Structure 1
Amino acid sequence: MLEGEVLFYKGLGWIVKGYQHPGDAIVAYPRYDLFTGGKLGHHELKWLTEFMKNWDCIKRNVPLVPLAEAVKPIIRMDERVAYLLSTLSKLIKSKGEEIEISGSSILASSNPRDVDVIVYNSTFETVSLLEELLNKGVIGRASEQLVITEYLEKHSSKMSLENYFKLKRDTILHFTLARAHVNVKLVARSRGYNYCVDKVEGYVSYNGFFKILERITAPLIPARYLVKVGGEIMEMESLREVYSELKPGEYYMMGGIIEERRSGRVLVPDHGVVIPK
């Protein structure tokens, strides 16, 4: 499975993380209670430790859902959400099966005002088409109020509103279509792997300045950049949508890590906070 996909297990909705998984399990985090249809609170995640296991591939404890017991849900969408996905698919000239709803939209698909969408097998052509559609006004740019709402719902505990606006200025991943606010994630892959793709040999914490020299794959996820950390040039990789549209320039990172992978040293911001200079 791939980043952002939803699976059901033990009465919960789980969000898949990343694109590499152990052979008999899936790396995924619990987010929703299927019985109440609501999001899990922090106090409800205390029992999560029973699913936490060390995966040597990434040298970290992560929640692992047994592959044999995970269920890929069949989504019965509200007709307005189905229309929105069909329209978006035609606009970006994608195949219908490559576009899925995700997040809370899975459980609340009868309310199409805020829809999380993932476009798998995205390419730079997908990015260009979205930019063209926004510039022509075919789809609407996210208003300041929509960006504030997104910030309050997902990012207010980690960064200031001012910094969030700097990160999401000129975003192409939030827009309005068919009277709905669409939050889209462009995932470059079409499938995940049930084995270790890029093994982590070790890692160290990183707090400090870094400079983005150029985008490599961003805003496609995994979003990769060429960065300078101190006097060293390395890649930075993020699976988070909020860090997939960063522009070249100076930033400060708190709570990040530098992984020693077989492929080289990689700066990873996903567990920390990136602050524009």
Structure 2
Amino acid sequence: MIVEGYFLKYRDVIWSIKGCYHPDGYAVAIPRLFNGVKIKRLNDALEVVRTKFSNLLKYVDEIGFNVPLVPLNESEILDPFNAKIFNNRVREFLRFFNGDVGITGSYLYLGKGNDMDFLSFKPEHYYVLEELRKKGITKPLSTVEESEIETLDYSSFKILKSKRILEGIFEGRGYTFKIVQCEKFGPVREVKEFEGYVRILKSIKPFTIPVKYLVTDNHGNEYILTSFRTRFTELLPNMEIFIKGKILVRDEFNDMDLDIAEIVKLKSF
């Protein structure tokens, strides 16, 4: 099973696998390391695809738009759960979780990095992170890099990042912890534009990816906010958010996908 958090090496480029749905023989993935340069923004990665790998772009019903499909039979799969770990700080952090946690990000594809990125399939690991924060073993993040800013404005990004348990600092080094719990969304039947405020009525799945929140707009219409990105985890009920983006109309629900939104901005929480 290859999902969000795994990486590929294809045509001398390191690709980051995105989401949970992947057509047989392919992975939905975007460039992460291209010509030795790390690509952090989604839009920048997609621009590389459009200019250098446009032949990979295909429409996928379950996603609702064109995405890069990387052929697995021409790729090397980088498995977070089989990575060799030499860094003592990484090893020490992993000891809190009794195994079952993979190392992803630059430690997976380069063997080194400034920040530590972890992958888990177990929701209970979130409560371990909570305990580590309560005991002061980890600390909240207080700084934001300009290269990280995308979709969310600076102020919203910084506020959410500082309150998040899934991100923080351990022994002076930043970490991101991604817990993946895949589910089937079904095909996209229609795509609609949306611009306005929504309020979170319920956090359905706030810390496991894909996250899901029940929201309502100013007219009483209900949607499900979804995302595969850590920046949209741990949102709370009653948060008001301005969104300019798209609604993916599916058989079971109206999917307001934050990952393809143009603007996401907190009003209050």
TM over 0.5: yes
Q: Using the TM superposition, name which of 168-177 and 10-19 deviates more.
A: 168-177
The equivalent residue for 1:238 is 227
Q: Using the TM superposition, name which of 36-45 and 223-232 deviates more.
A: 36-45
For residue 73 of structure 1, the aligned residue among 68, 71, 78 is 78
Please state whether the residue corresponding to 1:270 is helix, strand or coil: helix
Partner Cα distance (1:58, 1:109) in 2: 32
For residue 164 of structure 2, the aligned residue among 160, 171, 179 is 171
For residue 250 of structure 2, the aligned residue among 256, 261, 264 is 261
Please state whether the residue corresponding to 1:90 is helix, strand or coil: helix
Partner Cα distance (2:13, 2:28) in 1: 14
AA partner of residue 133 (structure 1): L
The equivalent residue for 2:103 is 100
Q: Deviations over 1:195-249 (max 9, x none)?
A: x751111111211111111211111111011111231223221111111121222
The equivalent residue for 1:60 is 65
AA partner of residue 260 (structure 1): V
Quote the offset at 1:13 in angstroms.
0.6
AA partner of residue 130 (structure 2): E
Quote the offset at 1:110 in angstroms.
3.1
The equivalent residue for 1:5 is 6
Please state whether the residue corresponding to 1:216 is helix, strand or coil: strand
- In percent, how many aligned pairs have the same letter? 25
AA partner of residue 144 (structure 2): I
The equivalent residue for 1:214 is 202
Alignment of 1:94-133 (within 5 A): 95-96=99-100, 98-102=101-105, 104-111=106-113, 113-119=114-120, 121-123=121-123, 125-133=124-132
AA partner of residue 269 (structure 1): L
For residue 211 of structure 2, the aligned residue among 199, 202, 223 is 223
Structure with larger RCO (C-alpha < 8 A, sep 6+): 1
AA partner of residue 86 (structure 1): R
Q: Aligned in 2, Cα 1:108/1:68: closer, same or farther, shift over 3 Å?
A: closer
Please state whether the residue corresponding to 1:72 is helix, strand or coil: strand
- Segments of 5+ residues of structure 2 without an aligned counterpart are none
Q: Aligned in 2, Cα 1:134/1:258: closer, same or farther, shift over 3 Å?
A: same
Q: Deviations over 1:54-97 (max 9, x none)?
A: 123323111001122221137765621xx33433333134x34x
CA contact (8 A) 1:134 1:172 kept: yes
Please state whether the residue corresponding to 2:78 is helix, strand or coil: coil
> TM-score, normalised to structure 2's length?
0.85
Q: Aligned in 2, Cα 1:134/1:48: closer, same or farther, shift over 3 Å?
A: same
CA contact (8 A) 1:168 1:245 kept: no
Q: RMSD between aligned alpha carbons?
A: 2.4
4+ residue runs of structure 1 moved beyond 4 angstroms? Answer: 40-45, 74-78
